Chain A
Amino acid sequence: MGNEESVFFSRVLTELTLSFHIIYATVGVGIPLMIMIAQWVGIKKQDEHYILLARRWTRGFVITVAVGVVTGTAIGLQLSLLWPNFMELAGNVIALPLFMETFAFFFEAIFLGIYLYTWDRFENQKKHMLLLIPVAIGASFSAIFITIVNAFMNAPQGFDIVNGQLVNINPVLAMFTPAMPTKVAHVLSTAYMTSAFVLASIGAYRLLKGSNHVYHKKALFLTMKIGLIFSIATAVIGDFSGKYLAEYQPEKLAAAEWHFETEKGAPLMLYGLLDDGEVKYAIKIPFALSILAHSNPNAEVIGLDQFPENEIPPLYIHYLFDLMVTIGMWMTALSLIYVVGTWLKMRFVASKWYRWLIVLGGPLSIIAIEAGWWFAEVGRQPWILRGIMRTDEAATISGQVDLMLLLFAGLYLVLAVGSIIVLTRMFRKNPVEQELSDRELEKEGDLR
């Protein structure tokens, strides 16, 4: 196997691992917050249903965490195994947040263990809830630190290169790159948003499939509200991200928007097809790209004409960008209508078709997460460290990457099937009505 093939298979394997990992990682970041909110609402309102909600989410959460942890270990090692040259260089500058990420992970792991095994140990539910705070903090902070590493790859700084040597290294400066604030904020808000919509989709599904319990209605309303808040936050941060790209990574924005010529008052292209360098069927919104990039309809936006051919990312990222944004907008509207509709006691939000739309929302949000990451990562091509190291210089020279790709693909298949079977079994066998009546009996037993 030649170097070119090693690079190709390394890229495919990394993409496969990350695409699989982020599904579990995203809910791993978001769900602890949802559990915390549910338990807090339960304590505040003295409502058993919310406590039970927290308890049942927790049970499912353990399964997703397990897969998240093992695939996270895989990508952690693959960074060095598949990209040894990159890690050797970047390790000098970016090791600090990587190291801190493992601390956050450690912290979360310890308290998750305690939280899971102390459900009935404390008389006071508040004490038990306190244990969840470090879990949620640990989960969010691992996301923050690892996103900082990714932000560095997009906008490396904190060092100088003199005659091929790294000098003047400043690990703290390397963490606070221009890409970091928008990336971190976007990752966190979309993780919370996605988790909320995934949980909402489960609630809606149960309501559609026979159970008409008030428990599911409470769950649905709570998660849709949280989802709405974070989808609005995501939209605002998305706008900042556009401005960041225009300033620091104009080639990514230009490729995403099929913006070929540098011009003032640039229009935004929605959808469309690229055929031999010609854009067809696109919806053109005049001045919108200038507004997105610089908040000024007449501002100049740099186009792809400013970059050498071999530094332009693949143009298909436009489709990924559109997919992400469309789903984001759709979910914002869906949750807004649901929340307002519920307040105004409108009928249609409880109708079958609307609930089916909510069921669809969970998988759609996951697709948006995937599309967003593919866009962000492919949009950085051909660089692994933008402006410093190209991806093909970073990969391993080992000849066995293709075999490893097959092995890992098999692993992810097993994990996907296993986790889906376990999760559905868990909740099929023990529906909420059953659990509520069991708990009722238990309490009576205690009183007697």
Chain B
Amino acid sequence: MILEIIGISVLWLFLFGYVIVASIDFGAGFFNAYSLFRGKQHVLTRIIQRYLSPVWEVTNVFLVFFFVGIVGFFPKTAYYYGTVLLVPASIAVILLAIRGSYYAFTTYGGLKQKKWTYLYGLSGLFIPASLSIVLTISEGGFVAESAPGLELNYWSLFTSPLTWSIVVLSIAAVLYISAVFLTWYAHKAQDEPATELLRKYALIWSLPAIITATGIIVELRGHNPEHFSRLMDLWWLFGISFILFAGTVYLIWKRKAYGFAFGLLTGQFLVAFFAYGVSHYPFLLYPYLTIYDSFTNEAMAAALIIAFIAGLGLLLPSLYLLLRLFLFNKDYVQGKRDDHAKEE
């Protein structure tokens, strides 16, 4: 029993990691496109490129890690989610593929055109939307189990207000997380105009992010009362999350301690993300699949956890090195050094 909990917690943590790094990435692409549209690209592009270039590949790995891990720890998810997610997951993969390779093509290959920047910015918002469908489906009510197998009811999925609320939340959260992080980054780079612009975006997007998050809890009351009541049992966690949110907004508003503000934001999402995850327990796909009946055999679970610990022993120092060299390197952040192999 304890192994199941460790397994899902580890995976949930990686999914959280993906949510944060991918949000920064997707949001940055959108702000970049938006600033080009408003004729202010010179303000943001350099900041955004400097941050994204060394880490774009790492972002992708978090997602791969999550979906390989969940099939490893919970093989039955391959059957349940694999069958119903063919269309939404394929669309997300195609968007991710175009976006990722386009990034490399423009950054290293010098393929620069306005229309691509717009497409890039928009695709970054469609990806969280198409991925967040998984969260909606996991709430139950959209999948029917019949004689030939599982079937996803697209009509009820696309007409459900819950679907659209989760889509809006994912987009708002992406833009909010990204803006707060980039405000901090631009401030570190001593780039005042970029800081001011991003600060404004952060404040603008904080409101829809918190409103939709609250709205979804209310909607679950009608959609999945059982889940709603477990969410209510954890009300204090959501309370903490809200206080952290207020702290971030306050600091950004007062132009103080941007780094700490980003820390509070991470805390806000971490608490809310885990509270949501815990309230979902023990279901992976309501009401068909729990973490107990889908868990892998003991031998595999033990092997995976050993591999996981060994892997982390390798990864954490490497990630630390990456952050030291770029994110926390003053000269690099301020654009005093680039050191890369491409030509200007």
B61 on the A face (CB < 8 A): yes
Say whether B81 contacts A71, CB under 8 Å.
Answer: no
Stretch at the interface among B30-38, B165-173, B319-327: B319-327
Q: Decide if A66 touches B105 in the complex (CB within 8 Å).
A: yes
Nearest CB in chain B to that of A122: its residue = B339
Chain B 287-323: CB-based contact to A (< 8 A → 1; otherwise 0):
0000000001101100110011001001100110110
Contact A112 B98 (CB under 8 A): no
The reply to whether A404 and B108 contact each other, CB–CB distance below 8 Å, is no
Least distance between A31 CB and chain B CB atoms (Å) = 14
Nearest-Cβ distance from residue A388 to partner chain B, whole angstroms: 15
Q: Would you call B6 an interface residue if the criterion is a C-beta within 8 Å of the partner chain's C-beta atoms?
A: no
* Chain B interface SS verdict (over half): helix
**How many Å lie between the Cα of A240 and that of B106 in the bound state?**
44
Residues of B within 8 A of A93 (CB): 300
Q: Are B297 and A169 in contact, with the CB atoms below 8 A? A: yes
Known interface pairs A69-B57, A81-B86, A110-B58; A116-B340 also in contact (CB < 8 Å): yes
What's the least CB distance linking A334 to chain B, in Å? 31
Q: Nearest B residue to A93 by beta-carbon distance?
A: B300
> Which residue of A is nearest B88, CB measured?
A81
Judging by beta carbons under 8 Å apart, are A98 and B68 in contact?
A: yes
Within 8 A of B (CB), among A64-98: 65-67, 69-74, 76-85, 87-93, 95-96, 98
A396 with B86: CB separation less than 8 A? yes
Interchain CB contact under 8 A, B71 and A134: no
Give the interface segment out of B89-97, B193-201, B257-265: B89-97
Q: Quote the shortest CB–CB distance from A339 to chain B (angstroms).
A: 29
With A81-B89, A113-B57, A117-B338: A70-B101 Cβ-Cβ less than 8 Å:
yes
CB of B111 within 8 A of CB of A422, answer: yes
Q: A77-B93, A425-B110 are in contact. List 12 more A-B contacts (CB 8 A).
A: A58-B341, A77-B90, A92-B297, A95-B71, A95-B296, A99-B72, A99-B307, A100-B311, A117-B325, A119-B341, A411-B94, A426-B109
Query: Chain A residues with Cβ under 8 A from B111's Cβ?
Result: 418, 421-422, 425
Q: Kindly state whether residue B160 has any CB partner on chain A within 8 Å.
A: no
Q: Does A106 contact B109, Cβ atoms closer than 8 Å?
A: no
Give A400's nearest chain B residue, CB to CB.
Answer: B87
Assess whether A430 is interfacial by the CB under 8 Å rule.
Answer: yes
13 A-B contacts (beta carbon < 8 Å):
A77-B90, A79-B78, A83-B82, A88-B79, A95-B75, A95-B304, A96-B304, A99-B308, A120-B339, A134-B318, A166-B297, A400-B86, A422-B105
A429 within 8 A of B: yes
Structural contact, B296 and A91, CB atoms closer than 8 A: yes
| A161 in the interface (beta carbon within 8 A) | no
Question: Per-residue 0/1 for A139-182: is the Cβ within 8 Å of any B Cβ (1 yes, 0 no)?
Answer: 00000000000000000000000000010011110000000000
Question: Closest residue to B92 on the A side, CB-wise?
Answer: A77
Report how far A59 CA is from B16 CA in the complex, Å.
32
B337 on the interface (CB 8 Å rule)?
A: yes
- Nearest chain B CB to A139 CB, angstrom units: 12
A84 x B82 contact (CB < 8 A)? yes
Query: Inside 8 A of A418's CB, which chain B residues have their CB?
Result: 101-102, 105, 111
Interface membership of A37, Cβ < 8 A: no
Residues of A within 8 A of B326 (CB): 113, 117
Inter-chain contacts of B64 with A (CB < 8 A): 72-73, 76, 102, 105
Bound together, the chains give a CA A55 to CA B94 distance in angstroms of 31
Interface string of A226-246 (1 = CB under 8 A from B): 000000000000000000000
A77's contact among B67, B319, B338, B339, by CB below 8 Å, is which?
B67
What residues on B are CB-neighbors of A88 within 8 Å? 75-76, 78-79, 82
Chain A residues within 8 Å of B108, by CB:
59, 62-63, 422, 426
- How many whole Å from A305's CB to the nearest CB in chain B? 38
In the complex with contacts A91-B71, A107-B314, A426-B110, A419-B105 CB distance below 8 A: yes
State how many angstroms separate the Cβ of A404 from the closest Cβ of chain B: 5
Q: Which residue of B has the minimal Cβ distance to A404? A: B90
Which size bracket describes the interface of B in this complex? 35 or more
A113 touches B58 (CB 8 A): yes
A407 interfacial by beta-carbon distance below 8 Å: yes
Residues of B within 8 A of A74 (CB): 93-94, 97
Q: Which residue of B lies closest to A98 (CB)?
A: B68
Question: Are A415 and B300 interface neighbours, CB within 8 A?
Answer: no
Contacts of A425 in B (CB 8 A): 109-111
What is the chain B residue whose CB lies nearest that of A2?
Answer: B148
Residue A121 is within 8 A (CB to CB) of chain B in the complex: yes
Q: A76-B67, A91-B71, A401-B86 are in contact. Are A429 and B101 (CB under 8 A)?
A: no
Q: Which residue of B lies closest to A101 (CB)?
A: B68
Contact residues in A for B233 (Cβ distance below 8 Å)? none
Which residues of the other chain, B, contact A170 by a CB distance below 8 angstroms? Answer: 299
Q: Within the assembled complex, what's the spacing in Å between the Cα atoms of A88 and B56?
A: 31
Q: Digit string of B230-273 for contact with A (CB within 8 Å is 1, else 0)?
A: 00000000000000000000000000000000000000000000
Which chain A residue has the least Cβ–Cβ distance from B331? A121
A109 within 8 A of B: yes
Smallest CB separation, B102 vs chain A (Å): 7
- A-chain residues with CB within 8 Å of residue B303 when the two chains form the complex: 96, 171-172
Instruction: Judge if B63 is at the interface, Cβ distance under 8 Å.
Output: yes
**Is B68 within 8 A of A169, CB to CB?**
no
A397 at the interface (CB under 8 A from B): yes
A330 at the interface (CB under 8 A from B): no
Is B328's CB within 8 Å of the partner chain A? Answer: no
Q: Smallest Cβ distance from B58 to chain A, in angstroms?
A: 5
Is the CB–CB distance between A84 and B78 below 8 Å?
yes
Q: Are B61 and A102 in contact (CB under 8 A)?
A: yes
| Residue-wise interface mask of A (114-139) relative to B, using a CB-CB cutoff of 8 A (1 in contact, 0 not) | 10111111000000000000100000
| Residues of chain A lying within 8 A (CB to CB) of residue B85 | 81
Residue-by-residue, is A408-448 near B (CB-CB < 8 Å gives 1, otherwise 0)? Answer: 10010011001101110110011000010000000000000
A398 sits at the interface (CB 8 A): yes
Tell me, yes or no, whether A111 is within 8 Å of chain B by CB. Answer: yes
Give the chain B neighbours of A72 by CB distance below 8 A.
64
CB closest chain-B residue, reference A64? B104
CB distance from A24 to the nearest CB of B (A): 10
Residues of B within 8 Å of A69, CB to CB, are 57, 60, 100
Q: Which of B53, B58, B65, B89 contacts A117, CB < 8 Å?
A: B53
CB-CB nearest in chain A for B326: A117
Inter-chain contact B75/A397, CB cutoff 8 Å: no
User: Bound complex: CA of A96 vs CA of B305, how far in Å?
Assistant: 10
